[in-house]
Chain A
Amino acid sequence: MADLPDWLSEAGPSAYDPPSDREGFLRGNVLRLAGALAGVRAGGSAASAVDRALGRVPAALRLLGLVVVVGCVSAATNALFVWVVLAIVLCQLALRPPRRIAAVAGTALAAAALAALLALPAVPLGAAPPSSVVRMAGKTFVSVSLVLGLTQGVAWGRLTSALASLRLPGSVTFVLDAAVRDVALLGREAMALSEALALRSVGRNDGKAASAAGVMGVAFSKASALASRQAEAMACRGFDGTYPVSRERLATPAGIGYVAGVAALVALFAWLEHAMAVAA
């Protein structure tokens, strides 16, 4: 009893009225952002039979195929091609477990809603028909789903190798690789800080913005320290700008099948565009 602080040893009933302060801001924003950063390098695990099949395709081909298909989706002047790719995307999604679906569909739907919101003012102004808003939202959903599907299904290390296979300069590959690794590291750091902040947050906190800014400031300082430490380590090891990465063989049966599928989509795109031009 002798060592208890005054406020704890006060006689009489304790009167603790839990404040109505909720941690929604902290949990919903800072922790989520930090968690997303920490998960940047977490891709690469197969979640379904389709993912396993696609996992056998060389990452370079998948990267190229993604660029080609997203380009076709963006350039499509009719909704038909978008519907076809949407059907493929939905089939892939349907085979994944709920957590993976939620991760992709939530982000893709949010992006599609934002695209629709941005395009919506064009309708009352007479600059675009309502169908174009739906088409834009559909294109955004399909493109974001395809990109997220790739980042979730292919480990970052394989994507780095893919960039090297595409004859990108080693310095570019190195910068991308280091940036993603640092982003993931900083995400984990910010996550730990945010959790510590949430645990120590007692009572009502009116300075949430300052707390969040503090977390971001510490993360920034950490980024600076990481960068200087990495530069020192590279100087010690005699780094000369050469960044060796292993290259995957492209001409595998899975790769050939994948290229055939993408080629079929491109052919469909060209045929539909030609048909549209003739009809016009």
Chain B
Amino acid sequence: MHIPDNYLSPQTNGVLACAMIPVWAHCARRVRRDLDQGHLAFLGVAAAFSFLLMMFNVPLPGGTTGHAVGGTLVALLLGPEAACVAVSVALALQALLFGDGGVLAFGANCFNMAFVLPFVGYGVYRHVMGRGREAQAGPARKRAAMAVGAWCGINAATLCAAVELGIQPALFRDAAGGALFCPYPLSVSVPAMCLPCLLVAGAVEATATVGIYEFVRRTAPGCIVATPDAGRTAGSSLVPVSFLVLGLAVATPLGLLAQGDAWGEWGVPALAERVGAVPAGMEGGFAFGALMPDYSLAGLPSFAGYALSAVIGAASLVIAFKLLSGALGRTASDAGDEGAKA
């Protein structure tokens, strides 16, 4: 689902990046207003969950691979706006440090995975639970609502990515009528991306969402803001959660067992092999030299490089959000001091 550079036209990238600007602004305002310093720091852990889940590739029907995103999970823990911020930062790290997802396509990837996914997932969850009846719902119903929300969220995001890729040949053609960018039309991209997601990736997302949410609910219920349990809002030992993050990071090489690339994430030579020629717009297109491309390090076995990348990425996200929480905490206390002086 990470659209690489040059698969979308600059116009498409531009429109989706512009569409994300007000979303980011709104989400940043809401996060600053709704989350205190401790929960803002926990947002880093939630972003690390999302980052790590995206590294667990699973084999999909058709010979491609897919992964969970964890956007609905973060939305259920801290709210959809916080999920948008967390997944956006995780995607930025993936694009800049690991070359996963395009730099030019960052807005498009954020639109799909950081905006559509958590908002749809959280909205469906609320709808299934029924407005104002959350307190009466039993744990089984709550878990079912989470699973349905997560499944719908990732499928909505996949559909968006498939449509963005599929409209390229219809909108952007060269003089000879050949596709300039992604060469696959909607009739190919939608079934190729959505069917495996409906069957497998959606179930993986739902399982991961319910499993990790339940773990956090039992070990650190105080960290849950968006869907707290009645009478269980205290206690927030992050030690078990930290161990879970570390365990997931160490286990990420399991994602390498799934052979093949995700649909629409091939390199230019691999795409040329499939379609017989390189689309004109992709030839000599933008190429960003990431520091650790494809989560690998030259000279290190792939599993070790993958696990090391996971540890560095997850730790970086936790540090970034802790620094942000510290800075905002200081700003708030400074403002409080100014107010007291006034």
A residues with CB within 8 A of B: 49, 78-80, 83-84, 86-87, 90-91, 93-99, 101-102, 105, 134, 272, 275-276, 279
Contact = CB atoms under 8 A, between A and B. Distances in A.
A78 B323 CA distance: 30
A84 B323 CA distance: 23
Given A101-B322, A105-B319, A134-B291, A90 B312 contact: yes
A94 B322 contact: yes
A83 B315 contact: no
A140 to B, nearest CB: 16
Contact of A101 (B298, B311, B323): B323
Contacts of B297: 79-80, 83
Contact of B299 (A101, A134, A275): A275
Contacts of B308: 83-84, 87
A249 B315 CA distance: 34
A101 B317 CA distance: 13
A99 to B, nearest CB: 6
Contacts of A79: 297
Contacts of B319: 90, 93-94, 101, 105
Interface of B: 37, 41, 44, 239, 242, 246, 291-292, 297-300, 308, 311-312, 314-316, 318-319, 322-323, 325-327, 329
Nearest to B292: A83
Nearest to B318: A94
Given A78-B299, A83-B297, A272-B299, A91 B326 contact: no
A97 B322 CA distance: 7
A49 B240 CA distance: 12
A244 B248 CA distance: 49
Q: Is the interface of B mostly helix, strand, loop or mixed?
A: helix
B300 A98 contact: no
Contacts of B299: 78, 80, 272, 275-276, 279
B239 A49 contact: yes
Given A80-B300, A102-B327, 11 more contacts: A80-B297, A83-B292, A83-B297, A87-B308, A98-B37, A98-B326, A99-B326, A101-B319, A102-B326, A105-B323, A134-B291
B329 to A, nearest CB: 7
B315 A91 contact: yes
Given A80-B297, A87-B308, A98-B323, A93 B315 contact: yes
B311 A98 contact: no
Contacts of B300: 80
B326 A101 contact: yes
A102 B242 contact: no
Contacts of B242: 95
A98 B322 contact: yes
A90 B249 CA distance: 13
Contacts of A84: 308
Contacts of A94: 44, 314-315, 318-319, 322
B241 to A, nearest CB: 12
- 7 smallest beta-carbon distances between A and B, as pairs: A98-B326, A90-B315, A94-B318, A94-B315, A98-B322, A87-B311, A87-B312
A28 to B, nearest CB: 15
A98 B41 contact: yes
A87 to B, nearest CB: 5
A146 B275 CA distance: 51
A32 to B, nearest CB: 15
A54 B300 CA distance: 29
A102 B322 CA distance: 9
B312 A83 contact: yes
Contacts of B329: 98
B311 A90 contact: yes
A167 B37 CA distance: 46
A189 B104 CA distance: 53
Contacts of A96: 322
A43 B292 CA distance: 35
Contacts of B37: 98
A170 to B, nearest CB: 41
Contacts of A93: 315, 319
25 contacts: A49-B239, A79-B297, A80-B298, A83-B297, A86-B312, A87-B315, A90-B315, A90-B316, A91-B246, A91-B311, A93-B315, A94-B315, A94-B322, A95-B242, A97-B322, A98-B37, A98-B325, A98-B326, A98-B327, A98-B329, A99-B326, A101-B319, A102-B326, A102-B327, A105-B323
Contacts of A49: 239
Nearest to A103: B326
Contacts of A80: 297-300
Nearest to A92: B315
A97 B37 CA distance: 11
A197 B319 CA distance: 36
